Every structure is written in structure tokens, then in C-alpha cells.
């Protein structure tokens, strides 16, 4: 326990020490802005902007809001600074950019002759034609450059409220130039001018005395949303609850790996898991409050939710049965899932965006998607346990008692998964009947949910038929999870077809394929070893 | 079945086989494999292909039938059921109910669309099933289901349909997504047309240009085509490079008013539409803003002197021969140029030679397949084909759907057919949902033929009173749709996730069509699902059964208690 506390302290002490000198912009972060169809604090706007331009959540360790302010206050330096990300090697080669460089300045890019030529070429391509991969990457780069220009011009800060209401279109700082004859606008312009001057001069004390003046100057122009909601979101942004969760899960995983069923190490692992779980719960509490809906509306949220479900089930089973096998399986999966969600913003987008109309039904969204994803969680737990069983039979054949416990645990996980997946798929049918007018339409997402269910049903029936033993069920639970992966990830990212198009995306296909291949090889090798062991007996 | 089958007999053994769990495992894995394959087909092609090949096919229905029998037998063979089998029986009964409900839906259900324009009403549901409409008049049509997609006809193997009165339609081409395309065919007394290819490092496209189209804006340049005599070409060459004459000419041609850009008549005599006359500008004086316009007809010609500054100065010279029935007025104006100042004028001589004039420069002969540099970026034009006298004909060409788009916005299918034993043989093109074809048999009986979609009558009219879209704050992303419909004098609301029930039918807000003035057409999805009760009952049984099996274990707990006792 002392070890843990020490680690946390170290974590808290190290972070600020690494940071570059920068101002503390507490009041500015809370200023509400209208962007992407919702109201969010400037902190979020700046984070999303900086993430998109530089590909990093924090550019050179800077607070993203300070980075944005720096760019806005000093356009000359912003254009000269190497800050626009371009990582694609083929694109860099096509544009004649240095292959080893990651960031490029706006000046360099906008004077690049090849880029201008390529842009003229892209304009000529008809909107119906399919773009090549290179053109797609190029389009992304152009979008980043365009965004960078509008950040510098202050167009992304839509912070000027509309007197007609909070939901009406707001204006950006750039839109204000024509309204300077209105006294409150002139007052606002003075505040903004002072802020930008202080930022330009890097006069941090001046900046910190000026920044609290912006919010009152803005609220003089129209109604603004409640401050506590903005504060909640800034708090969520800064806390990174899901990152804290995986750190504690990882810390809990280390002792559990060596614990076996021995006392102290197990309790240490359990304690760290509970801290991580508390962060995980708190993160969902914050995110639901910010977005006003269940946290399962895109791939990022579902990955985090499935990790949560796996740990939840593991803790539940653990407290009921005291088998001491569930946590290891669940934590391995949860850490892997959360680390991915934390580090792949291009594939798993963490931004909170409004939903498409058909999903705006909290009751069905919550009940259908939560049930389905909880079943994925149960199967993920079964996947982890399946690995432990298969490994046990292949290499630790003497631990009969542990294997028995594991077998029972695996069976329980599959059972709850089947119940939830069947119920969730049917609930999906009920919602589809209510919203689209048909219970079942052979949509790829529906079909793959059914295929995943059929896989596990075949396992259970194969077990009853006597074709599968304990080892077979465990190996099968690893393979059957590929059906879940297909229903969960593959339909949206590989097939890209059907009515569940709101979750579509690209990227990560190769990694998933490699992982599936590794699992296949793992099952084949352990099966071979298990067979030889059995024959030898 | 149980008492009939003698244990050990053939019937009993086949019953046992059909009820066996091993068959169940094979069927489960088989179904999973079939479904997985079907989804990849759907991703590669589209959902209708997957429906046709798998989900809606007879063999898939037979496979599900086999699964039904397997589940049915495995349930009945365990009769009389014991207490601990309650979960098992209920679960499998649930699946049977779901399968039965699906069959009912497939056989008797209706699933269609109903687009309704704001302020108007509809009383039919459109199904996604193509039909041929045929009958003696547009009011009296019969629907004949046809599906060409999976078995397209060809000129060698046309699809024959008897239309009555000795007329047979032969469908010889089917295009699944078709867009209309103009073709030019040589005829007598037609208009000149040329087929040009525009090529640059950025694009490569070809286009027919004809004189009847008038000047066309293509990219940055204005392109026009006119017939011209060899004399006209020489005049143009003599005139050298001259700026276009500004303004327009207003005319009364045989009493009909007409207004055309003055530049059209520069140096080349241009036919005046729907009249026997032609006109050309002989002289333009920029200082006095006046022109000399020569109007010529088959029997004579006359020169008009027209001033834009003062119409009192307008004079007509005495006519040579018969005086053309044309009055003219020159309306001057700003130096009217093509927006970018770029123009491409094409002239076709009676000898089918093509001259081109770039930005008013002297004309150059355009030889076939010899690219000409335009000087606009790196665009080159080359002549593909020239017809001195041609007429346009509408035809259809296949439209390639971009992968991943699902064909949602792709144009509908089109068929080409000829009519045997009719007065007009064709070939004719019909596009699904498009206009109908009217013809008559050789004896003169009228006949109408159309290509459309099957419809189902609703029995009542549904009127769209209002359609409203709500947006996310500060964006144009639709956040909600709401239609107000009027049925039998009563108003109802239809929204996303809020359907409206009308008898056996249910109306869902599916999509909308919008133009610049806002939403115009609200599209409802209309369904009637007679199997839904059976499916819902099955669903409840299934989930309840699984729960009972896994967590309640009736009978087993009692046994354990007994054992403890």
C-alpha cells in the first residue's frame, strides 16, 4: 500500500516539474463557446483544436489553451512555427517534405509549389469520384491548414453569445469587427485586445489579471449557459479519469500476476483495482453529465464502457465466489482497452459530439446499447479466463483445483454474456421496430450480433454434445470472441455497410487482424501441446 | 409424433437424428458461416444483393426451416418434460415463435416508402419491387412484376412481354443505375454538332456541342457553335481579332419578340430560331455605339442601321428582293464579355470543316484528333467527330456507384425496349419511376407502357401539412425531423422515434428531400408487420427461458436440498 501511495505522489510531483513555463488560465478555460453543435468550455475547444493541428493532446507540454492563445496573439510566429502535423511518408515524399520531420510551419506549407499544384488537382476531381489514399491524406493536411488559419484568425472561438438565446447561432471574435460601434462590443474588444497583447508579450502576470474579465464582458452581450456545467467539463478534461483508471488497473495487475492465491499481494492488487474502478465510475459520471446521455454512442465510449463492464463483472463474481481468478483476466483486458482508447485519438475519437437524430432517444439508446456492450464485457472476461484455462491445461496441468475454479468462472462468464447478448439483440430489434419500422432487417450489425451469439451457442451445445471438454470450451471462447470483435469493431470499421452508419470509421484494421492471427496461433499451439500431454498420460 | 414412431424403427431413428444436439451444433455453425459470408457480400455489393443471394432466397428459408425442425424435434423428444427442463423448453419455444413470426412477416408484411410533398396528399405505399405498367391509357394500367437485375436481358436474349392487340415489347437492355446521355445522329435538315475532347493534366472529358444548345458556360470559358459558310469564315479572318460587340439585339421576328446577345451575330450569320431568317452584324462602331445588321431570308435581305444611343437614328436600307418580316433594336451595354473573358466559338461549314475561334482571335481550322492548345492553363481540345446535320437523341448510360455509398443517391434503373407490331417501333428508353411511353398498335389501338415500382393502396389519403427540421445550435446538422400529417380530417405528428399508427399500418419518419427554399418532401417508411406479435412473444420466452436455465435452475436446487437433507 505504501508503495502505491509513493507512486501516486511521484506521479503528481513529476508532471508539473516537466512542464514549460506557461500562464495559469483558470478563468479563461471556463468561458463557454459554441462549437460542433454544442456548448463547451474554451478549454475543450482549445484541446480539440491543438489535437487536430499537432496530433498531440499537449503540444510541447503546453496547456492547449495557452498554445491557442499564443497562436492567436502572434500570427507571425504562429505561421513560422513548425506545428502542423504531417506524418504520412507517401504524402511527405509527394510534397518534397523532409521524411523525418513531423511538424511543418504554415509558411513552409503554403509556399510549397507541389502542394499548390496538388490542391489545384484535387479541386478538379469530381465529388463523386473515389479519392486515392494519398489524396485522402492530403485532404486531411489541407483541412488542418485551413483549421490552423481559422484558429489564428479567432474563428474557432465562437464565444460571443446570441441575445436571442443560448441555442441560437453564436458569433466568433472574427465576426465582431462589424459590430464595434455597439458599446458592449467595444468593451469586449478592449478586453480581448489586452488579453492578446499580454499573450503576445508573454506577460503572464498581466494575462492572469486580464483573463477573468473576459467572461463578464461576454455575458453582457447575451445569455450564457450555467457556469457549473463548463466547470464540470474543464474538471473532466484535466482529471483524465479514464487514464487514472488504467494506471491503477495496471498497478493492480502487477501484484496479481505474481499473487497466485497468496494473501498480501492479492489484497494489494484488489485495492489498486478498486481505486481504478472508482476513477472509472467517476469518469462516466462526469461524461454522462456533460453529454446528457449514456456513454456508449461511439467507438471510444464503447471501448471504455466494455472495459468497465469487464471489471464490474469480475469484481461482482469475485465478491460472490472469492475464486480469485476473475480480476487477472478482467484487468488485462481493461488495461489494454483503456490504453488504446487513451492513445489512438485518430481511430477512437474522444470528443463529445451531438448525436444523429435517430439515436436521440435516451431510453432505447441506454437500454439496448448498454445491454449489448455489457455482453461484450462478459465475453471479454471469458476471453481472459479462456487464456488462463488454455495456458493452465497446456503448461500447469498439475494445478487441478485452480483449473476447476477457472472452468467454473469461464462458464459463468459465457452464460451471462449469452443472456445479455440475446437480450440486447432482441432489444435492438424492438428499438428498430419502433424507430425504423422493422424488427429484423438483416443489417450487418444485427447479423454479426447474431453470428457472435451463434458462436457461443455452438460452444455450449458442443459442450452438451460431448464434443468439447473444458479445454475445448476455453479455446472456443477465445475464437468465439473474434465474432464479438467483428460485431463490435469490424462492422463499423471493416465492412462499413448498413444502417448503423453513425459509428463508422477507419483505421486499426491491420492491428486487429494481427491480433486475431496471434490468437489463432496461440490456440493452435496450446491445443497441440494439450493433445500431446493427454496422449502421454 | 412420439406415439406414432415405433422406437428403433426408421421413423424413430430419423426423429432422433432431427432432434440431435450434434445436428444442432452443425446447423448453428453453418448458419454463422452463411451469415458472415453474406455480410461481406453486402459490404462488397449492396444490401439488395445480399438479400437476393442469401437472406431472401429459398435455400436460406429452407435452412431456417431445417433449424426449426431441429429445435422442434429436440423439444418434443424430451416430452414429458421434467421440472429442470422448464428453461430449456421455454427458450427453444421462444426461438420457434420468432422463426414463425419472421415467416409471417416475409409472406404477408408490407414494407414500403411514401414520399409526400408539403401541402399535397398520397394514398399509396411504394414498394421496392420494380414493375412494368401496361394498359390502353394512363388511367387504366396493370402492374406486372419484373426483376431484371439478377438476370439482365440482352439483345441476343431479350425479355418478351405480350401487350395485347398483337404488340410485343422486347426489353433488350437493363442498366441498374442509369443516367441520361445525349447522342447525336446524322439526319437530314438537322443542325451541326461536334464532339470535342477537353484534356489537361487534371481532367479528360468529352462533350457534344450543338448549335441548338446556344452558348454554354464550360468551366471558365463560354463555348458556342454555329453553322457558317466559307464566306463567313473568310470575313472572320479578315476582321482579325476584334472584341465582342457589347449589349444585345431585340427583335420582332414575324411578330414574335426575341432578345439575343449581339456578340452571337458577329461576322457570322446566325439563324433566328423558328423562322426562315438569319442575321449577322456587318459593322460595329464603338464610338457611336451603332451596328449594321444584315437580315436575310430565302427570298431577300435587308440591312438595318441601329444605334444604341438614340433609336431615332435607326434606319432600314431598302430591301433586296422580298423584305424580311423582322424589326430590330440595338440595346447597347457594358462591354459584355464572357465572365472570364474566355470564349471558344466553333463554326461548322457545309463541307463539315470545323473552325474554332479562341477569345475572338482569327479562326483556325480544327483538324480531327489534332490537339489544339487553348492557352487556358494546359487545356487542349481535339475534335473527335463532326456532323454537319444532326439531331440529338436521348439514351442512357450506366452510372458507377462509389463504393461505400450504398447506392442511396444513385439514379434509378432504366430499360431499353422495342415494340413489335406497333406503329412506332423504337427503341425506347424507360427509367424506373420516370415518364411513360405512349404508342399504338398497327390497328391503331392506343397503348401505354411504363417502368415503375409496385404500390399498395392505403385506403385513405395522408396529407402532409407541415415538415420541420430542428438543427444543432449554430450548425446545419439536423437534430430532429417532424412531420404533421392530416388523415380523415385529424392532424397527427410523426417524428424520429415517434411513429404514427393508422390501422394495420405504421408510419415512420424516414428522410426528406430539400431544396433551397427548405424541406419540400417528407419521406415516410410505411410498414405492416403481421408477425410482430409472434416475434415479441418469442423474444420474451427466449430471454425468460435463458434466465431460468442459467440462474433459477428449477428442480436442480430441490434435488440439492434433498441431498443435503
The predicted-structure confidence for B324-349, as pLDDT tens digits, reads as follows: 888 888 877 654 444 446 778 888 88
Tens digit of pLDDT for each residue in B361-389?
Answer: 778 888 887 888 877 777 888 888 888 88
CA terminus-to-terminus distance, chain B: 40
* Residue B42: closest C-alpha in chain A: A497
pLDDT category at A363 given cuts 50, 70, 90 is confident
| pTM, full prediction | 0.79
Secondary structure (3-state) at B354: strand
Tens digit of pLDDT for each residue in B152-181?
Answer: 898 889 888 888 778 888 898 898 888 888
Residue B28 contacts A, CB cutoff 8 Å: yes
In the prediction, which pLDDT does A67 show? Answer: 92
Residue B30 in contact with residue B24, Cβ under 8 Å? Answer: no
In the prediction, which pLDDT does A386 show? Answer: 96
- The residue ranking higher by pLDDT, B212 or B79, is B79
pLDDT, mean of residues B438-457 = 86
Residues in chain B: 565
In the prediction, which pLDDT does A248 show? Answer: 95
Residue B481 in contact with residue B498, Cβ under 8 Å? Answer: no
| Winning range, highest mean pLDDT, from A46-55, B26-35, B206-215 | B26-35
Taking one residue from A and the other from B, the number of pairs with CB-CB distance under 8 angstroms is 160
Rounded CA gap, B356 and B363, in Å? 5
For residue A207 the three cell numbers come to: 494575462
Tell me which H or E stretch contains B196.
strand B178-199
Q: How far is A448 from chain B (nearest CA, A)?
A: 7
Residue A423 in contact with residue A441, Cβ under 8 Å? Answer: no
Residue A189 in contact with residue A154, Cβ under 8 Å? Answer: no
For residue A161 the three cell numbers come to: 453569445
- Residue A173: closest CA among A74, A72, A38: A72
CB contact under 8 A, A496 and B404: yes
Residue A221 in contact with residue A242, Cβ under 8 Å? Answer: no
In the prediction, which pLDDT does B1 show? Answer: 45
Tens digit of pLDDT for each residue in A335-361?
Answer: 999 999 988 887 788 888 887 776 777
- The residue ranking higher by pLDDT, A190 or B207, is A190
Q: How far is B142 from chain A (nearest CA, A)?
A: 29
- What angle is formed at CA A172 by the lines to CA A167 and CA A176, rounded to 5 degrees? 115
Rounded CA gap, B525 and B523, in Å? 7
pLDDT, mean of residues B189-198 = 83
Residue at grid coordinates 493433445: A531
- pLDDT at residue B515 is higher than 90: no
Residues from chain B contacting residue A494 (CB–CB below 8 Å): 43
Distance of alpha carbon A113 from the chain centroid: 37
In the prediction, which pLDDT does A503 show? Answer: 56
Residue A347 in contact with residue A508, Cβ under 8 Å? Answer: yes
Model ipTM? 0.86
CB contact under 8 A, A458 and B547: no
CB contact under 8 A, A447 and B506: no
Q: For residue A228, count CB atoms less than 10 angstroms from its CB and return exposed for 0-12, middle for 13-18, buried for 19 or more.
A: exposed
Tens digit of pLDDT for each residue in A293-334?
Answer: 888 888 899 999 999 999 999 999 988 887 788 999 999 999
In the prediction, which pLDDT does B537 show? Answer: 96
Question: How many helices (H) and strands (E) would you count in chain B?
Answer: 8, 32
Tens digit of pLDDT for each residue in B35-60?
Answer: 999 998 888 887 888 888 999 899 99
CA terminus-to-terminus distance, chain A: 45
The alpha carbons of chain A give a radius of gyration, in whole angstroms, of 27
* Residue A461: closest C-alpha in chain B: B25
For A328-332, B61-65, B74-78, B222-226, which range has the lowest pLDDT when averaged over its residues? Answer: B222-226
- The residue ranking higher by pLDDT, B262 or B485, is B485
* Residue A129: closest C-alpha in chain B: B402
DSSP codes joined into one string, B528-548: E-TTHHHHHHHHHHHHHHHHI
- The residue ranking higher by pLDDT, B496 or A285, is A285
pLDDT category at A4 given cuts 50, 70, 90 is low
Residue A500 in contact with residue A487, Cβ under 8 Å? Answer: no
Residues from chain B contacting residue A420 (CB–CB below 8 Å): none
Return the residue in B113, B473, B528 with the most chain A beta carbons within 10 A, the one to mutate for interface testing: B473
Please provide residue B213's backbone torsions phi and psi, each rounded to the nearest 5 degrees.
Answer: -75, -25
pLDDT, mean of residues B434-438 = 82
Distances (CA, A) of B112 to B147, B260, B452, B520: 17, 49, 14, 20
pLDDT category at A171 given cuts 50, 70, 90 is confident
Distance of alpha carbon A331 from the chain centroid: 18
Rounded CA gap, A386 and A474, in Å? 4
- pLDDT at residue B564 is higher than 50: no
For A227-241, A352-366, B135-149, which range has the lowest pLDDT when averaged over its residues? Answer: A352-366
Q: How far is A123 from chain B (nearest CA, A)?
A: 9
In the prediction, which pLDDT does B35 show? Answer: 95
In the prediction, which pLDDT does A458 show? Answer: 96
Rounded CA gap, B327 and B250, in Å? 8
CB contact under 8 A, A438 and B111: yes
In the prediction, which pLDDT does B563 show? Answer: 45
Residue B34 in contact with residue B54, Cβ under 8 Å? Answer: yes
Residue A435 contacts B, CB cutoff 8 Å: yes
Residue B499 contacts A, CB cutoff 8 Å: yes
Rounded CA gap, B387 and B390, in Å? 6
Q: What does the longest C-alpha to C-alpha distance in chain A come to?
A: 93
In the prediction, which pLDDT does B385 show? Answer: 85
Rounded CA gap, B134 and B167, in Å? 12
For residue A264 the three cell numbers come to: 498480501
- The overall average pLDDT reported for chain B is 83
For B84-88, B126-130, B276-280, which range has the lowest pLDDT when averaged over its residues? Answer: B276-280
Residue A467 contacts B, CB cutoff 8 Å: yes
For A429-443, B106-120, B190-204, B499-513, which range has the lowest pLDDT when averaged over its residues? Answer: B190-204
Rounded CA gap, B454 and B126, in Å? 6
Return the residue in A359, A447, A496 with the most chain B beta carbons within 10 A, the one to mutate for interface testing: A447
| Selected residues 305-344 of chain B with any CB under 8 Å from a CB in chain A | none
- Residue B460: closest CA among B478, B485, B480, B438: B485
In the prediction, which pLDDT does A501 show? Answer: 55
Residues from chain B contacting residue A422 (CB–CB below 8 Å): 542-543, 546
Q: How far is B435 from chain A (nearest CA, A)?
A: 26
Q: How far is B125 from chain A (nearest CA, A)?
A: 14
- pLDDT at residue B404 is higher than 80: no
pLDDT category at A57 given cuts 50, 70, 90 is confident
Beta strands in B421-515 (DSSP E): 428-431, 437-440, 446-471, 478-487, 490-495, 500-502, 505-515
CB contact under 8 A, B475 and A491: no
- pLDDT at residue A1 is higher than 50: no
Nearest CB to A467; choose among B25, B46, B404: B25
pLDDT category at B351 given cuts 50, 70, 90 is confident
In the prediction, which pLDDT does A5 show? Answer: 56
pLDDT, mean of residues B258-282 = 78
- Residue B132: closest CA among B120, B121, B141, B122: B141
Specify which residues B382 forms β-bridges with: B197
- The residue ranking higher by pLDDT, A239 or B362, is A239
Beta strands in A451-492 (DSSP E): none
| Selected residues 142-181 of chain A with any CB under 8 Å from a CB in chain B | 158, 166-170
Amino acid at each position: 500500500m505504501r508503495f502505491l501511495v509513493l507512486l501516486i505522489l511521484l506521479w503528481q510531483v513529476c508532471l508539473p516539474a516537466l512542464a514549460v513555463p506557461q500562464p495559469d488560465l483558470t478563468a479563461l478555460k471556463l468561458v463557454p463557446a459554441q462549437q460542433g453543435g454544442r456548448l463547451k468550455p474554451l478549454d475543450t475547444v482549445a484541446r480539440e483544436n491543438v489535437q487536430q493541428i499537432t496530433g498531440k493532446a499537449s503540444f510541447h507540454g503546453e496547456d492547449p489553451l495557452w498554445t491557442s492563445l499564443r497562436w492567436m496573439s502572434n500570427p507571425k510566429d504562429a505561421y513560422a512555427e513548425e506545428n502542423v502535423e504531417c506524418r504520412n511518408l507517401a504524402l511527405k515524399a509527394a510534397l518534397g517534405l523532409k521524411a523525418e520531420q513531423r511538424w511543418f510551419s504554415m509558411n513552409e506549407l503554403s509556399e510549397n509549389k507541389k502542394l499548390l499544384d496538388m490542391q489545384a488537382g484535387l479541386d478538379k476531381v469530381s465529388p463523386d469520384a473515389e479519392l486515392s489514399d494519398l489524396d485522402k491524406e492530403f485532404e486531411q493536411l489541407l483541412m488542418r491548414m485551413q483549421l490552423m488559419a481559422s484558429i489564428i484568425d479567432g474563428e474557432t472561438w465562437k464565444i460571443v453569445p446570441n441575445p436571442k438565446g443560448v441555442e441560437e447561432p453564436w458569433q466568433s471574435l472574427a465576426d465582431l469587427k462589424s459590430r464595434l460601434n455597439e458599446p458592449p462590443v467595444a468593451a469586449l474588444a478592449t478586453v480581448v485586445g489586452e488579453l492578446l497583447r499580454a499573450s503576445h508579450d508573454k506577460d503572464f502576470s498581466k494575462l492572469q489579471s486580464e483573463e477573468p474579465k473576459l467572461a463578464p464582458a461576454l455575458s453582457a452581450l447575451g445569455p450564457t449557459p450555467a457556469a457549473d456545467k463548463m466547470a464540470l467539463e474543464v474538471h473532466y478534461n484535466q482529471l483524465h479519469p479514464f487514464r487514472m483508471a488504467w494506471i491503477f488497473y495496471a498497478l493492480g495487475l502487477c501484484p496479481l500476476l505474481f499473487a497466485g492465491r497468496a494473501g498480501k499481494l492479492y489484497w494489494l492488487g484488489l485495492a489498486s483495482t478498486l481505486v481504478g474502478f472508482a476513477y472509472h465510475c467517476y469518469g462516466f459520471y462526469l461524461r454522462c453529465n456533460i453529454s446528457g446521455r449514456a456513454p456508449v454512442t461511439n467507438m471510444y465510449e464503447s471501448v471504455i464502457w466494455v472495459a468497465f463492464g469487464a471489471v464490474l463483472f469480475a469484481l461482482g463474481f469475485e465478491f460472490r465466489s472469492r475464486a480469485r481468478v476473475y480480476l487477472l483476466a478482467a484487468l488485462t483486458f481493461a488495461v489494454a482497452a483503456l490504453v488504446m482508447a487513451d492513445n489512438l485519438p485518430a481511430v477512437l475519437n474522444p470528443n463529445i459530439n451531438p448525436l444523429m437524430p435517430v439515436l436521440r432517444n435516451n431510453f432505447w439508446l441506454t437500454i439496448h446499447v448498454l445491454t449489448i456492450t455489457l455482453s461484450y464485457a462478459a465475453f471479454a472476461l471469458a476471453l481472459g479466463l479462456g487464456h488462463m484455462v488454455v495456458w493452465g491445461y497446456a503448461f500447469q496441468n498439475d494445478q487441478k483445483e485452480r483449473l476447476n475454479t477457472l472452468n467454473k468462472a469461464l462458464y459463468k462468464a459465457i452464460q451471462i454474456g449469452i443472456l445479455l447478448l440475446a437480450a440486447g439483440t432482441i432489444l435492438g430489434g424492438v428499438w428498430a421496430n419502433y424507430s425504423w419500422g422493422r424488427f429484423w432487417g438483416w443489417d450487418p450489425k444485427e447479423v454479426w450480433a447474431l453470428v457472435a451469439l451463434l458462436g457461443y451457442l455452438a460452444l455450449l451445445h458442443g459442450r452438451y454434445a460431448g464434443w468439447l471438454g473444458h479445454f475445448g470450451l476455453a479455446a472456443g471462447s477465445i475464437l468465439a470472441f473474434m465474432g464479438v470483435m467483428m460485431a463490435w469493431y469490424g462492422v463499423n470499421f471493416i465492412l462499413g455497410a448498413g444502417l448503423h452508419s453513425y459509428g463508422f470509421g477507419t483505421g486499426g484494421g491491420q492491428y486487429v487482424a494481427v491480433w486475431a492471427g496471434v490468437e489463432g496461433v496461440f490456440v493452435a499451439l496450446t491445443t497441440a501441446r494439450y493433445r500431446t500431454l493427454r496422449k502421454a498420460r | 409424433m412420439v406415439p406414432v414412431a415405433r422406437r428403433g424403427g426408421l421413423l424413430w431413428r430419423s426423429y432422433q437424428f432431427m432432434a440431435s444436439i450434434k445436428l444442432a451444433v452443425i446447423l448453428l455453425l453453418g448458419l454463422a458461416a452463411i451469415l458472415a459470408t453474406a455480410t461481406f457480400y453486402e459490404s462488397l455489393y449492396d444490401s439488395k444483393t445480399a438479400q437476393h443471394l442469401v437472406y431472401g432466397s429459398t435455400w436460406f428459408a429452407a435452412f431456417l426451416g431445417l433449424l426449426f425442425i431441429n429445435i422442434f424435434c429436440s423439444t418434443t423428444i424430451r416430452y414429458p418434460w421434467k421440472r429442470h427442463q422448464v428453461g430449456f423448453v421455454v427458450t427453444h419455444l421462444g426461438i420457434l415463435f420468432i422463426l414463425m413470426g419472421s415467416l409471417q412477416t416475409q409472406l404477408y408484411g408490407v414494407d414500403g416508402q411514401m414520399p409526400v410533398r408539403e401541402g399535397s396528399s398520397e394514398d399509396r405505399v411504394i414498394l421496392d419491387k420494380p414493375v412494368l405498367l401496361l394498359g390502353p391509357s394512363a388511367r387504366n394500367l396493370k402492374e406486372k412484376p419484373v426483376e431484371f437485375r439478377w438476370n439482365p436481358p440482352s439483345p441476343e436474349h431479350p425479355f418478351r412481354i405480350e401487350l395485347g392487340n398483337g404488340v410485343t415489347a422486347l426489353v433488350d437492355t437493363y442498366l441498374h443505375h442509369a443516367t441520361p446521355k445525349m447522342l447525336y445522329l446524322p439526319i437530314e435538315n438537322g443542325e451541326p454538332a461536334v464532339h470535342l475532347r477537353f484534356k489537361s493534366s487534371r481532367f479528360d472529358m468529352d462533350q457534344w456541342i450543338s448549335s441548338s444548345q446556344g452558348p454554354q458556360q464550360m468551366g471558365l470559358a463560354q463555348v458556342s457553335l454555329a453553322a457558317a459558310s466559307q464566306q463567313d469564315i473568310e470575313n472572320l479572318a479578315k476582321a482579325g481579332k476584334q472584341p465582342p460587340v457589347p449589349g444585345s439585339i431585340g427583335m420582332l421576328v414575324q411578330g414574335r419578340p426575341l432578345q439575343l446577345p449581339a456578340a452571337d451575330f458577329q461576322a457570322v450569320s446566325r439563324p433566328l430560331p423558328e423562322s426562315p431568317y438569319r442575321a449577322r452584324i456587318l459593322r460595329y462602331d464603338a464610338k457611336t455605339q451603332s451596328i449594321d445588321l444584315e437580315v436575310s431570308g430565302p427570298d431577300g435581305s435587308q440591312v438595318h442601321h441601329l444605334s444604341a444611343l438614340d433609336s431615332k437614328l435607326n434606319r432600314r436600307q431598302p430591301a433586296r428582293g422580298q423584305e424580311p418580316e423582322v424589326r430590330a433594336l440595338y440595346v447597347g451595354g457594358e462591354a459584355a464579355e464572357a465572365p472570364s473573358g474566355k470564349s471558344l466559338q466553333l463554326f461548322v461549314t457545309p463541307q463539315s470543316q470545323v473552325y474554332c475561334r479562341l477569345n475572338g482571335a482569327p479562326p483556325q481550322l480544327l483538324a480531327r484528333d489534332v490537339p489544339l492548345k487553348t492557352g487556358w492553363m494546359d487545356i487542349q481540345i481535339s475534335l473527335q467527330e463532326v456532323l454537319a446535320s444532326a439531331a440529338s437523341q436521348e439514351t442512357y448510360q450506366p452510372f458507377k456507384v462509389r463504393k461505400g455509398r450504398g447506392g442511396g443517391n444513385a439514379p434509378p434503373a432504366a430499360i431499353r425496349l422495342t415494340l413489335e407490331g406497333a406503329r412506332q417501333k423504337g427503341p425506347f428508353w424507360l427509367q424506373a419511376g420516370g415518364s411513360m411511353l405512349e404508342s399504338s398498335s398497327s390497328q391503331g389501338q392506343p397503348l401505354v407502357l411504363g417502368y415503375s415500382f409496385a404500390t399498395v393502396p392505403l385506403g385513405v389519403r395522408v396529407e402532409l401539412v407541415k415538415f420541420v427540421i430542428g438543427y444543432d445550435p449554430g450548425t446545419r446538422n439536423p437534430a430532429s425531423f417532424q412531420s404533421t400529417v392530416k388523415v380523415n380530417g385529424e392532424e397527427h405528428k410523426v417524428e424520429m422515434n415517434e411513429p404514427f399508427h393508422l390501422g394495420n399500418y405504421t408510419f415512420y419518419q424516414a428522410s426528406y428531400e430539400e431544396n433551397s427554399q427548405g424541406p419540400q418532401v417528407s419521406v415516410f417508411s410505411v410498414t405492416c408487420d403481421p408477425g410482430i406479435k409472434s416475434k415479441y412473444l418469442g423474444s420474451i420466452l427466449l430471454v425468460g427461458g435463458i434466465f431460468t436455465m442459467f440462474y433459477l435452475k428449477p428442480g436442480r436446487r430441490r434435488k440439492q436440498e434433498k441431498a443435503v437433507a
